[in-house]
């Protein structure tokens, strides 16, 4: 089991009358790649800045290795940050940018030279020592920003949407590079993004946030396959989310029809949100006593089709490698293990989880 490194306790942050973070509790472990994921304005960047010491919480604590660092300034924390804009020094070449931190710390020339060599090798930019940083590509500048942070030997590296300025192909390549660097250095990474694909493909742990609340914490597989509420289900990947009513354990009523499911522990007759992923729905020929409908829209995405089917008074999204034609009549087949039940919010605070 990984050792606890950072514990965030009851952190609250407001800007004017807006509560950006509302009693946040979170544990971050050594060597972990944790992603803070959520829409714009959810509080993820503010939480990152509080961890880094760039913002002060109104209340609550940041505990690092058992010590309260809530009031410790950024330069005194064993934490470095890679910002969205990289913040490289344009008047310095590559090696001067990387050497800046160790020089300020009074490290020897031999130490700095070895660290520059190590960092450039780690980010696959050996031989770039004398290059002008303004002449580098966006991906290369990002690598230099990471190298500059790593030479300071931080325990934690904060990354504030560092891939957002890159094109799609380079962004995908850099995801795997960041995972590799995390594994090779043993540094804990805390990564902020609104991109669900980035979060799912890179993280050990995903923290889904919305409106200043943590909605769910879990592995990518857990968050995708077992969302705790409708917001998470809708935000992580595509979903069909339908109002339902529990009949009894392992039986739910959707759109006037009863379906077997695998969930238990919900009170009979309780209203629920029912989630079914588009890739988990099979289309068949129309059948008696089946959920039949009509294809209303087809979009080709290269490796699969997004197929919209109007059935039971609901517009269903289905993802399939098999093309269907608009106007075609079909039936929808749902397997019990692919029907995910989520309790509806019971209070105003809980309702924020769904918005």
Tens-place pLDDT, residues 167-199: 888 888 889 889 999 999 999 999 999 999 999
Domains defined along the chain, listed by start: 4-225 (3.40.50.300), 230-351 (2.40.50.140)
Question: What is the reported pLDDT for 165?
Answer: 72
Q: In what order do the strands lie in the sheet with 188-193?
A: 79-82, 156-160, 188-193, 33-37, 205-210, 213-218
The predicted structure's pLDDT at residue 348: 45
Contacts 24+ apart (CB under 8 A), 182-185: 182/31, 182/33, 184/122, 185/122, 185/150
Task: Give the pLDDT confidence score for residue 347 in this predicted structure.
Answer: 44
Against a cut of 0.85, is the pTM above it? yes
Low-confidence ranges of the chain (pLDDT < 70): 86, 346-355
Q: What are the pLDDT digits (tens) for 100-144?
A: 989 988 889 999 999 999 999 988 899 999 999 989 988 888 889
Whole-number Å distance between alpha carbons of 330 and 79 = 56
């Amino acid at each position: 089991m990984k050792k606890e490194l950072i514990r965030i306790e009851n952190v609250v942050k407001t800007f004017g009358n807006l509560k950006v973070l509302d009693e946040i509790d979170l544990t971050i472990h050594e060597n972990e790649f944790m992603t803070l994921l959520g829409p714009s304005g959810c509080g993820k960047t503010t939480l990152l800045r509080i961890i880094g010491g760039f913002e002060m919480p109104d209340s609550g604590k940041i505990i690092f290795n058992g010590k309260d660092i809530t009031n410790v300034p950024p330069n005194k924390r064993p934490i470095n940050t890679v910002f969205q804009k990289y913040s490289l020094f344009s008047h310095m070449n590559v090696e001067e940018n990387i050497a800046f931190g160790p020089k300020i710390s009074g490290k020897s020339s031999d130490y700095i030279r070895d660290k520059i060599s190590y960092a450039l090798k780690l980010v696959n930019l050996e031989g770039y020592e004398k290059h002008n940083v303004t002449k580098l590509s966006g991906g290369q500048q990002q690598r230099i920003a990471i190298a500059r942070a790593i030479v300071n030997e931080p325990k934690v590296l904060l990354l504030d949407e560092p891939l957002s300025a890159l094109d799609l192909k380079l962004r995908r390549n850099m995801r795997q590079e960041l995972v590799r660097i995390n594994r090779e250095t043993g540094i804990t990474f805390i990564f902020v993004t609104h991109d669900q694909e980035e979060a799912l493909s890179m993280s050990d742990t995903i923290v889904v946030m919305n409106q200043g609340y943590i909605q769910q914490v879990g592995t990518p597989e857990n968050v995708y396959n077992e969302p705790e509420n409708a917001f998470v289900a809708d935000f992580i990947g595509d979903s069909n989310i339908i109002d339902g009513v529990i009949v009894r354990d392992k039986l739910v009523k959707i759109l006037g029809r009863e379906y077997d499911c695998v969930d238990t522990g919900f009170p009979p007759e309780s209203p629920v949100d029912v989630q079914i992923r588009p890739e988990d729905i099979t289309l068949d020929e129309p059948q008696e006593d089946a959920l039949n409908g009509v294809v209303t829209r087809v979009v080709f995405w290269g490796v699969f089709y997004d197929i919209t089917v109007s059935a039971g008074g609901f517009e269903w999204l289905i993802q399939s490698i098999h093309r269907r034609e608009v106007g075609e009549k079909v039936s929808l087949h749902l397997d019990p293990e692919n029907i995910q039940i989520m309790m509806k919010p019971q209070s105003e605070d809980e309702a924020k989880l769904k918005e």
